[in-house]
Amino acid sequence: MGRVLVAVVVVVTVVVFFSTSLGECKCEIKGIFNFGDSNTDTGGFFAAFPSERGPFGMTFFKKPVAEAIGIPFVSPYLKAIGADFRHGANFATAASTVRLPNTSLFVTGVSPFSLAIQLNQLKELQSKVHDNVSTPLPSVSTFGKALYTFYIGQNDFTGNLAYIGISGVKQYLPQVISQIASAIKEVYGIGGRTFWVLNLAPIGCYPAFLVELPHESSDIDEFGCMISYNNAVRDYNEMLKKAIQQTRAVLPDASIIYVDTHSVLLDLFQHPTSYGLKYGTRACCGQGGGNYNFNPQVFCGNTKLINGSTLTATACEDPSKYVSWDGIHATEAANKIVTLAILNGSKFDPPFLLHRVCDLQRI
C-alpha cells in the first residue's frame, strides 16, 4: 500500500466508526485519537492532496462502534474546514508508515505523515487546548480519558516486499514494532492510558498482492492465499503481541490491548459465504476481471490509456458480496463484520470488556 491512491480511501476499520450524537449512551471513553494509514484514513490524505473522490465511499454504512459508544465522528487532523476535535482526532493518512520515509511521496508514493509526524500532530493539538481558536478542541481531561488506537505498519511490511522479499523485510520489522511501542510510551507520557493496537491483515489473501508479489503455484493454499506471505505476517503479529506485553509490564496503570483483527479477516477470505459474502480474493473495484480483478496499472476509479486501449477500473454492482474493495482494502461489508467481532470483545488480548466502560447500543 505504499502508493498514492487517487481518491479518498473508503473508511475501513473500527476506530473510524466512533460517531453519533452525544448523549445517546454513557461511556467512560471521552475521545478517540487514531494513528494509522489508509486502513483508517477518513480524509486526511485527501485534505493534504486533493483529488477525485469516486467511487470510494459508495457503500459507507456510517455506524458500528460509532453508534455503539456514542462519540461523534473523529475529524481528520489535516482537515481545515469544518473540523471538530472535541472528541479526538484522526491522524491517519493513506500510504503512511511507522518508520520515517527516506523517499518522496511523488517518487514512490509513501506518505510524509509517518507515525512520528502523527505523534507530533497529537502533541501540537494538545498544546493548543488553551488557545482562543475557532476550531472546536478537546478539553484537557479528554486526553486522559480517550482511547488511542494504532493501526499502522502494513506499508512498512509491504512497501518493498516485492523487491527485497520476506527475508529482507524481516530485517527491519523489529524496528517497526519498537517504534510502535515507543509511541505508546510517548502518548502515555502526555496522559494517555487506554490503547488498542491492531495487528496486520493477512496480505497473502489480498488480490493486489496475489497479482504483484512473486510466488509459485505451490505457495497457494486451498483458499487461494499465499502461504509464505501469510506466515510472515503471523510472525510479525506474534512479535507485535510480545512487544505489547512487554510495554504493558512497564506501564502497569495503562490498559494496552492487542486487537486481533487478522483472524477475522483471514476467516473472511477463507470462508466468505459463511458471512453472507461471495468473493474472497477477488476485488470489487478493479480492472481485468479474472480471479482477482486487479490491474496494478489502473487502480480503482482510474482510467488510463494503455497500449492504445482505454481501461477503467470500476466498482462492482454489489460490493456487499466482496471481502476486498479495491484489491488493497476491505469492503464496508467486511469491515462491519470485523467491527462487530471487536465490539463483542472476542479479539482483545488481554480481555477488555468494552460493555463495562460503555453503554453499548445495537448497531
What residues are labeled active site?
A: 38, 326, 329
Q: How far apart are CA 72 and CA 24, in angstroms?
A: 11
- Residue pair 112/120 in contact (Cβ under 8 Å)? The answer is no
Neighbours of 234 (CB within 10 A): 16
For the chain, how far is it from start to end, CA to CA, in angstroms?
30
Question: Can you read off the three cell numbers belonging to residue 7?
Answer: 481518491
Helix 227-250 and helix 261-270, axial crossing angle in degrees, nearest 10: 160
Burial of 43 (0-12, 13-18, 19+ CB in 10 A): buried
Cβ-in-10-Å burial (0-12, 13-18, 19+) of 140 comes to exposed
The closest alpha carbon to 194, from 23, 348, 341, 84, belongs to 348
Compute how many other C-beta atoms are within 10 angstroms of the C-beta atom of residue 6: 15
CB 233 within 8 A of CB 195: no
